[in-house]
Amino acid sequence: MQARQARDAARAEVAEGNDPNVAKQEQKRIRRDSQGHTFEKVGAAFLDKQRKEGKSAATLSKTEYHLKLANRDFGRKPISEITSPMVLRCLRKVKAKGNYETAHRLRARIGSIFRYAVASGIAETDPTYALRDALIRPTVKHRAAITDAKALGTLLVAIPLARTIWRFLNLLKNS
């Protein structure tokens, strides 16, 4: 029964001017490509690219951390099958812990990986673009800064002095 249905479908394709073998090969290629290009693998390639670009150890460490967070949710999925709602679920897990800044940075990092995938011809779009305003923006805390040159000089002189006093006190305590 299934063989007859497949035959009839193939004849219908030929009648429309399409070659059923070409369509079948295209489906196989899409399946093969989607299985080989998971988010995890593309993320690793992106991280390798950052290493070759000479990014700092801190940047590489943060990228690895963000990749770990994203890989938990959709690392093994083909990158072409990842949607905005999938990414949003991942971001909301981070946001639920109160880490608003981390959620924003994670969205940006996932977006960087998708843009790398688009540039490499692996993915068609970046699903994080639609999520730009979906997260709570972290509140900025402005910190006091020394703007007076004399006060800055005093601080720079005091730092080595404070270290020396701290070492001396530790020596006394350990004696």
DSSP-based three-state secondary structure for 38: strand
Q: Which amino acid is at 24?
A: K
Residue 24 is predicted with a pLDDT of 74
- Classify residue 71: in a domain, yes or no: yes
Residue 31 is predicted with a pLDDT of 63
Residue 83 is predicted with a pLDDT of 93
What secondary structure does DSSP assign to 70-119, as a single string? HHHHHTTSBGGG--HHHHHHHHHHHHHTT-HHHHHHHHHHHHHHHHHHHH
Quick one: which of 138, 77, 149 has its CA closest to 113? 77
Quick one: which of 90, 68, 82 has its CA closest to 114? 82
- In tens digits, the chain (175 residues) has pLDDT values of 788 887 887 788 778 777 777 777 777 666 655 567 899 999 999 999 999 999 999 999 999 999 999 999 999 888 988 999 999 999 999 999 989 999 999 999 999 999 999 998 888 899 999 898 888 888 888 888 888 888 888 888 888 877 888 787 788 878 7
CA angle, 139 then 143 then 145, to 5°: 155
Residue 168 is predicted with a pLDDT of 78
Same domain for 91 and 65: yes
Looking at the structure of the chain, the number of domains it has is 3
Quote the domain boundaries for residue 69.
Answer: 37-131
Which residue's structure tokens are 């030929």? 14
- Classify residue 30: in a domain, yes or no: yes
Same domain for 155 and 83: no
Residue 92 is predicted with a pLDDT of 93
pTM to 2 decimals? 0.65
Residue 15 is predicted with a pLDDT of 81
DSSP-based three-state secondary structure for 128: coil
Same domain for 109 and 60: yes
Same domain for 41 and 11: no
The CATH number of the domain holding residue 86 is 1.10.150.130
State residue 27 phi and psi, 5-degree precision: -60, -40
Same domain for 52 and 80: yes
- Classify residue 162: in a domain, yes or no: yes
State residue 164 phi and psi, 5-degree precision: -65, -45
Same domain for 127 and 42: yes
- Classify residue 155: in a domain, yes or no: yes
- Classify residue 137: in a domain, yes or no: no
